[in-house]
Amino acid sequence: MAAKPKPKKAVAKKEVKKRRDVRQLEYFNEVMAKKRAGAPSFPYTESVADEICRLVSIKTVSLDRIIRENPHLPSKDVIYTWRAYNKEFGDKYMKAKITQAQLLADEVLEISDDSTHDEMQDANGNWKLNSEYVARSKLKIHTRQWLAGKLHPRLYGNQLLEQTSDITNTLKELKESIDDIKKDDEKDY
């Protein structure tokens, strides 16, 4: 038995969507060219978008630094505009940032476990705590935890702390209500 041909409406809908996507991409490239008047335009291409997302997902540095290290990439403004006007790129970029949050969490463990410079010898040969290095490590850990929490709040955020606080407040309110009821009952007798 031969396979049924697809209905013409389904094929037509896909073709219309494909044409619409092409028109949106052309419009997007025109907008980008106008925005960067006086600067060379940087049209959106899948290969550049994929490279940006790949670099973001394998490095724990800022987008500015990635662009500085890779001068062939577009500016940060262009990348943010691509994110705003191109849903597919925006989704890919967000997935890359989630992966970056996981890398940041891994770095927290590495920094925490590294004790190689925690102590130093003074002029007399005595070992003392290197408080500057310890403070810098704390700052690195705190910064990475904060960034990971912002990039992937479900996994690395302070939601548990907030939920515990909400439960505690609810229990306090409930206890106060029960105490008020007990006081009212004592007055009646």
Q: What is the DSSP string of 87-155?
A: HHHHHHHHHHHHHHHHHHHHHHHHHHH--TTSEEE-TTS-EEE-HHHHHHHHHHHHHHHHHHHHHSHHH
Region of 125 (left: φ > 0; alpha: ψ -120 to 50; beta: rest) is: left
pTM score, whole prediction: 0.56
* Residue 44 contacts residue 29 (beta carbons within 8 Å): yes
User: How much is the pLDDT for 19?
Assistant: 74
- Three-state SS annotation for 9-68: HHHHHHHHHHHHHHHHHHHHHHHHHHHCCCCCCCCCCHHHHHHHHHHHHHCCCCHHHHHH
Each of the 189 residues of the chain gets a pLDDT tens digit; together they read 556 655 556 666 677 677 777 777 777 666 666 555 555 568 899 999 999 999 999 998 999 999 999 999 999 999 999 998 899 999 999 999 999 988 888 888 888 788 788 888 888 888 888 788 778 877 878 777 787 787 777 777 776 555 556 666 676 777 777 777 767 666 665
CA 162 – CA 38 distance, rounded (Å): 49
- Say how many CA atoms lie within 13 Å of 38 toward its Cβ: 0
Q: Which amino acid is residue 35, in one-letter code?
A: K
